Amino acid sequence: MPTKPPHRPLKILHTSDVHLETDTFGSGERGIELRDKVRTAFGRVIDIANERNADMLLIVGDLFDSARVTEEGLAFAMGTIARAQMPVVMIPGNH
């Protein structure tokens, strides 16, 4: 049985190596500033995926920089990802 061609191309938004939490941010005010910039950028990825009506969001590795993630950092990540209006596929990577 022949298959029908898709009605439109599949829209996939891809990101990787986000590193939401990392020791390289440092501590103190500068570390908080760097962390907030990365978080803002990641939030913008979700916004763009929603604005462009992506069919799928791929987060392919290293959402965090290590397995040492704070509860607050995990809550931020999951809350931000929950705003996605499409399926999200995550691949852990080595971090």
Instruction: Please give the positions annotated as active site.
Output: 95
- What string of DSSP letters covers the chain? -PPPPPSS---EEEE----SS-GGG-SHHHHHHHHHHHHHHHHHHHHHHHHTT-SEEEEES-SSSSS---HHHHHHHHHHHHT-SS-EEEE-TT-
From CA 73, how far away is CA 58, in angstroms rounded? 20
